[in-house]
Structure 1
Amino acid sequence: MVEQVEQTTRLEITSLTLHDLPAGEVTIAVEYSSLNFKDAMACQGHRGIIGSLPHVPGIDAAGVVLESTSPDYQPGNRVLVTGYDLGQKHWGGWAQRIRVPATWVVPLPSGLSTREAMIIGTAGFTAAQSVLALQRNGVLPEQGEVLVTGATGGVGSMGVKLLAHLGYQVVAVTGKLDQRNALRQAGATRVVSREEVSNDSTRPMLSAQWAGAIDTVGGQMLTSLLRGTQFGGCVTTCGLVAGAELNMTVYPFILRGISLCGVASAECPYPQRLAIWKRLSTDWKPRTLPHMVTEVTLRELPEQVDRMQTGHSLGRVVVRLNP
């Protein structure tokens, strides 16, 4: 639980009862959760993420239904919850028990364990949405390289794995070049530094180099990607750690016909959510799922939160609760 202590926030383990949980139709015994960038921001008491303190972070959870007043779920059902307000305005998955609205709950696909579902989590779900956007805009494996920025992060690492699994030539863009081998094992065909891609010139367009990109950082990197995308290509965006501004002209859009697609996972409509999880449990389930995964307990979680807040986190962090 994140609590206010004088002028700072503090993450600590607290004992609660079922009566302390927020309202909802479904009570779940959480087996696994995960750590995401929004969770790290929640641990800082970010008012754009959470409603009030004290607060329980964790925008992902997977486990077993304990109680349900909804006819859609029965005790013993294995389920997962990602997105909506979980871990934001609503207490989240870093707890052995959660209570949520039934409309947030997704039946766990038969092809996934609760641990695998949380390795994927919101990060993998967002990466899958990004790949779908590329495909909808005609970016196919035979059309050339696809860049993934922030490639050692949660969304980035899952994006590399998923694209490689689907046969794309993946260029992993990272500031952590010491992780080249890990990124190649995850499926990257090339690993380049972010300095090789980010271009702060004022030129309205750059040489057309890649068929598309999944951008997780925003700022100047996103501007550079858009200016260097081939005719008819597509760039998806889902993060802004490097900045929220987009300083560029419309030339790449009207002269090369490229597309910029925003990806928002929290409010993804339920039918689409079910369809994406089905794919992630079957033909889209990456073969390299175990790569770049750290598993921790609640007591070990604060160290990983610190690593994420200082830019040293790698891949996915899974939180073990009641396995």
Structure 2
Amino acid sequence: MTATVADAFSAYLVERLDDGTLRQGVRTLTAADLPPGEVTIRVAYSGVNYKDGLASRPDGRVVRSYPMVPGIDLAGKVVESADPRFRPGDPVLVTGYELGVSHYGGYAQYARVPAGWVVPLPRGLDLREAMILGTAGFTAALALHRLEDHGLAPGQGPVLVTGASGGVGSIAVALLARRGYEVVASTGKAEAVDYLRRLGASRVIPRDEVAVTGGKPLEKQQWAAAIDAVGGDTLAHVLRTTRYGGAVAAVGLTGGSHLHTTVFPFILRGVSLLGIDSVYCPMPLRMRIWQRLAGDLRPEALEAMVYREVGLTELPQAFDDVLAGRARGRILVRIA
């Protein structure tokens, strides 16, 4: 018997009121409430990302239209499809595009999305594992992929990961270690040191060593490459301490969106700054990255990255934890 969308189902809905404040919580939706799309998915898991936390704030500036079901990633099984590439029962995942921003996202028991956004679940991952990785894992893997395309290889020297105890940072540490790199993890959480070592960091340094304001245009060369999830002063310091010919992949802005630097790292040391966009990454590369996450990049300690698993009613606290930097690794959202 072919599965169909339930007459009524639960979703976490955010609405903007006339006074600019937000009203949010678990609501009951129907199939008629879902946005247009060729593929309807019964969602099993989602995750809590920094952008999801911003979606819960009136000044978050990520949601483009209300009401909105947040959740910028999801994994589940197809229940209806108007596209011949997908059939009912197929396990799939979706990350990025307009999901959870201008198109209802993963915090609902059902999601309807354009077929062009859907990635078949790669063999080697189940639905839960796909969302332990989620947008954070995809972003970290894309960053590593770009660095290796730039010429990075194990044995060239230490690779720095900033914001290492967060979602993207944690997975970046694990992926780099899986590939045989010497990983230096930077974190502001003293209690995360053992955790990062378990993920494969050979050295863990305090955040203060890289979150440096000002400084000389060029400083001592330290890193063969870096994955920076912080931005701001941290990214500027990483650029001026990266070795000749190295590259820095910029993946986040938890430390600020402004970059105050000089051209010297670029024109005197040949340092490259690689921008990592996981939202509109072309589908052929997107599918290649997910295949790598299920294969040669698959972390050995996926479960160790789960900070906790929550349901829809527990999302407000999860948002607060992510925005305040209290979460370590990934917060998994159990939908089904």
- Specify the TM-score bucket, using the shorter chain as the normaliser: over 0.9
List per-residue Cα deviations over 1:178-200 (Å, max 9, x = no partner).
Answer: 11111111111111111112332
Q: In the TM superposition, what are the counterparts of 1:145-184 in structure 2 within 5 Å?
A: 145-184=158-197
List per-residue Cα deviations over 1:132-158 (Å, max 9, x = no partner).
Answer: 121112221201111101111111111
Q: Which residue of 1 aligns with 2:5?
A: none
CA distance in 2, matches of 1:91, 1:299: 18
Q: 1:46, CA displacement in angstroms?
A: 4.7
CA distance in 2, matches of 1:201, 1:310: 25
CA distance in 1, matches of 2:20, 2:122: 43
Please identify runs of 4+ aligned residues in structure 1 that moved more than 4 A.
none
Asked whether the 8 Å contact 2:54–2:60 carries over to 1, the reply is: no
Q: Which residue of 1 aligns with 2:62?
A: 49
CA distance in 2, matches of 1:47, 1:141: 39
Asked whether the 8 Å contact 1:10–1:43 carries over to 2, the reply is: no
Q: Which residue of 2 aligns with 1:83?
A: 96
Instruction: Assess, with a 3 A threshold, how the Cα gap between structure 1 residues 269 and 46 changes in structure 2: closer, same or farther.
Output: farther
Instruction: Assess, with a 3 A threshold, how the Cα gap between structure 1 residues 246 and 95 changes in structure 2: closer, same or farther.
Output: same
Seq. identity, %: 52
Q: Which residue of 1 aligns with 2:329?
A: 315
List per-residue Cα deviations over 1:78-124 (Å, max 9, x = no partner).
Answer: 11001110111101000000000000011111111000000111100
Task: Give the TM-score normalised by the residue count of structure 1.
Answer: 0.97
CA distance in 2, matches of 1:208, 1:131: 20
Q: Which residue of 2 aligns with 1:37?
A: 50
Please tell me the residue identity of whatever aligns with 2:286. R
Does residue 1:2 correspond to 2:9, yes or no?
no
CA distance in 1, matches of 2:133, 2:331: 10
Does residue 1:95 correspond to 2:104, yes or no?
no
Task: Give the TM-score normalised by the residue count of structure 2.
Answer: 0.93
Gaps in structure 2 of 5+ consecutive residues: 1-12
CA distance in 2, matches of 1:199, 1:35: 29
CA distance in 2, matches of 1:180, 1:256: 31
Q: 1:48, CA displacement in angstroms?
A: 3.5
Please tell me the residue identity of whatever aligns with 1:247. H
Please tell me the residue identity of whatever aligns with 1:35. V
Q: 1:72, CA displacement in angstroms?
A: 1.2
List per-residue Cα deviations over 1:193-245 (Å, max 9, x = no partner).
Answer: 11112332341101001111000010000000000001111101021221222
Gaps in structure 1 of 5+ consecutive residues: none
Secondary structure of 1:95's aligned partner:
coil
Secondary structure of 1:15's aligned partner:
strand
Q: 1:255, CA displacement in angstroms?
A: 1.2
Q: Which residue of 2 aligns with 1:124?
A: 137
Q: In the TM superposition, what are the counterparts of 1:283-322 in structure 2 within 5 Å?
A: 283-293=296-306, 294-322=308-336
Asked whether the 8 Å contact 1:31–1:321 carries over to 2, the reply is: yes
Asked whether the 8 Å contact 1:2–1:45 carries over to 2, the reply is: no
